[in-house]
Amino acid sequence: MKKTALLLGLIFSITLWAQSEFSSVTELPDYNLLKTKMKLSDVFTKADTPAEFPGGSETFKKRFAESMDVIDVKTNKIDTRVYFIVEKTGYVRFVTATGNDKKHAQAAEVAVRRLFVKWKPALINGEPVRYLYTFPLTLKKFD
């Protein structure tokens, strides 16, 4: 029952973060870690048309929640931030998650990798660009 409540909590607590918050990759709170795990040259955090999952953000959230493994968490609150690059071709690369629970961050990375689907790439002046997609996952444990 606890695992079901945890999964439902995850599904209903996933929120997408407005990509327009950062104008530069160096402004990201996890920049120092990301630069060691990703190729960040020529990556944009803002675009005329941001990268989009087929079916939109609601479909992405649903598919992500379905692909995420239910894990046993030790803390009452999880704050994970998932980053990945949507390439000019629309494929996802360099999935990295940061947060206060290592198991949850790893499960979030795996969940994104399981969604092997071609995105609509981000566009600037009508041309596809490499786009850093960022979204937070917050979870409150139900007792």
Q: How confident is the model over 77-116, as pLDDT tens digits?
A: 778 889 999 999 999 999 999 888 888 888 888 999 998 8
Lowest mean pLDDT among 25-39, 49-63, 76-90, 115-129: 25-39
Lowest mean pLDDT among 26-35, 46-55, 110-119: 26-35
| pLDDT over threshold 60, residue 134 | yes
Give the bridge partners for 73, in sequence order: none
Q: Given this model, what pLDDT does residue 38 score?
A: 85
| pLDDT over threshold 80, residue 21 | no
Nearest to 79 by CA among 22, 37, 17, 34: 17
Token pair of 84, please? 């990945």
If you average pLDDT over each of 28-32, 96-100, 129-133, 134-138, which comes out highest?
129-133
Nearest to 134 by CA among 94, 88, 91, 77: 94
* For range 56-75, the mean pLDDT: 81
| pLDDT over threshold 90, residue 65 | no
Residue 9: helix, strand or coil by DSSP?
helix
The amino acid sitting at 75 is T
Q: Given this model, what pLDDT does residue 76 score?
A: 66
| pLDDT over threshold 60, residue 124 | yes
Quote the CA–CA distance of 49 and 34 in Å, as a whole number: 23
Q: Given this model, what pLDDT does residue 7 score?
A: 45
In the chain, domain spans: 2-140
Token pair of 130, please? 């490499």
Q: Where are the beta strands (DSSP E) in 41-113?
A: 43-44, 77-86, 92-99
Residue 130: helix, strand or coil by DSSP?
strand
